[in-house]
Amino acid sequence: MSELFLEHDHSELYRKYRPKYPKEIFEIIDRKLTESTDKLPDHLREEYKRNKQSKWRVALDVACGTGFATLMLPPHFQSSYGIDASEAQIHQAKIEYGCRDPSRVTFLCDDALNIEKMFQRDSVDLIIICQAVHWLERGKFFKICQNVLRPGGMLVLIGYAGYTFDDERLEEINKEFILTVCKGNETIMNHFLDKYESISIELKKYFPNSGRCDSYMNRIETSITEYVGYLRSCAVYRNFKKSNPDLHPDTLDDVIDKSGKLIPIDSPVKASCEYFMIVGVK
Ligand SMILES: C[S@@+](CC[C@H](N)C(=O)[O-])C[C@H]1O[C@@H](n2cnc3c(N)ncnc32)[C@H](O)[C@@H]1O
């Protein structure tokens, strides 16, 4: 697994500052799952239909981190599981989990490649993996997902490339920061720039019935302080810091200085975050 999310200070930043997942994404996924289930032969459609409360059976949020997406699953599923290999992330997920309705969410600390040991073949309706598939051994993972998903079940790869500010001057500072920290992290960054296009080609080998789904643009109000917290939580930034320990000033101090000259750092600023999705249907 990735060594990047093991530190407690990183996980705490993650829980505080990372973008949450809007409910609209899960409504899109629910509609897609309805479509794929409707296409099954009668006996399978009957076997895998929703229950009387209109919920599917089981969903997994693999590499769930601090559990933002896991917590969005219970309105649609009878049982929802968040699984992550980092104990620090699962610890923060449980803190986040304690603040919300705790019904039917279970967090497990384990490797993504072990889900086959935890869930029976053909038993899972949905697997989501948010902002994480780029860290995994994808061939093995996709094969395992094929096994645990039920017919008509779906694997959904979800990602976002960060914020875009309405204010063009802030956006310029943002882009400059990204270009700086990209150096040495190009492979990972390219996955965001192409919105997982190359990963979707890999997915097709295992899920021939797969493709890009509608993306969702979320409008948010944030502040420079919160945004810098988000940047500090980015694995790519932490990598960059580790490879350039002597760099002065710190690139993030530079972002605070430059942005703070334009707008007080705690004032509200408007931005967008685009979430993209690749769906594989079994
Ligand atoms: C960028 S975070 C995304 C967290 C969360 N899904 C979200 O969207 O906020 C990537 C997560 O992948 C987890 N991860 C990386 N490799 C993993 C593996 N092999 N098995 C399980 N989790 C893994 C890390 O511990 C980390 O929490």
> Taking 60 as the threshold, does the pLDDT of residue 261 lie above it?
yes
Stretch 9-23: mean pLDDT? 86
- Spell out the SS3 assignment of 193-243: HCCCHHHHHHHHHHCCCEEEEEEEEEEEEECHHHHHHHHHHCHHHHHHHHH
Residues whose CB is less than 8 angstroms from the CB of residue 208 and which lie 6 or more positions away in sequence, other chains included: none
Q: How deeply is 164 buried, as exposed, middle or buried, from its count of CB atoms within 10 A (0-12, 13-18, 19+)?
A: middle
Q: Is the pLDDT of residue 5 over 70?
A: no
Domain ranges of the chain: 8-163+193-219+273-281
Q: What is the mean pLDDT of residues 58-71?
A: 96
Amino acid symbol at 282: K
Cα–Cα distance, 21 to 232 (Å, whole number): 19
Mean pLDDT of the chain: 91
Residue 113 pLDDT greater than 90, yes or no: yes
Q: What is the mean pLDDT of residues 21-38?
A: 97
Contact 219, 272 (CB under 8 A): yes
Nearest-angstrom CA–CA distance, 58 and 77: 6
Decide whether any atom of ligand 1 lies within 6 Å of the 136 Cβ. yes
In sequence order, which residues have a C-beta less than 8 Å from that of residue 25 and are 6 or more positions away?
A: 72, 158, 216, 275, 277
Atom of ligand 1 nearest to the CA of 141: 19
Å from CA of 69 to ligand 1 middle: 12
Ligand 1 atom closest to the CA of 19, numbered from 1 = 9
Q: From the options 3.40.50.150, 3.40.50.1460, 3.40.190.10, 3.40.1390.20, give the CATH code of 8-163+193-219+273-281.
A: 3.40.50.150
> What is the pLDDT averaged over residues 202-231?
94
φ, ψ for residue 55, nearest 5 deg: -110, 145
Ligand 1 binding pocket includes 227 (Cβ within 6 Å): no
- Rounded to whole angstroms, the Cα distance separating 104 from 175 reads 40
Q: List b or e across 185-220, with b for residues whose CB sees 16 or more CB atoms inside 10 angstroms.
A: beeebebbeebbeebbeebeebbeebeebeebebee
What's the pLDDT band for 277 if we cut at 50, 70, 90?
Answer: very high
Ligand 1 centroid–CA 83 distance in Å is: 9
Containing 57, the helix (H) or strand (E) segment is: strand 56-62
Q: What is the pLDDT of residues 88-108, one digit of tens each?
A: 999 989 988 876 665 679 999
Question: Could you give the angle at which helices 224-233 and 8-17 cross, rounded to 10 degrees?
Answer: 140
- Position 2 confidence tier, pLDDT thresholds 50, 70, 90: low
pLDDT at 272 over 60: yes
| Residue % of the chain over a pLDDT of 70 | 95
pLDDT on residue 237:
86
Nearest CA to ligand 1 atom 10: 132
Query: pTM (2 decimals)?
Result: 0.94
The band of 110, judged by pLDDT with boundaries at 50, 70 and 90, is very high
Nearest CA owner, ligand 1 atom 19: 1
Q: Are strands 105-109 and 210-222 parallel, antiparallel or unpaired?
A: unpaired
Can you tell me which atom of ligand 1 is nearest the CA of 111?
20
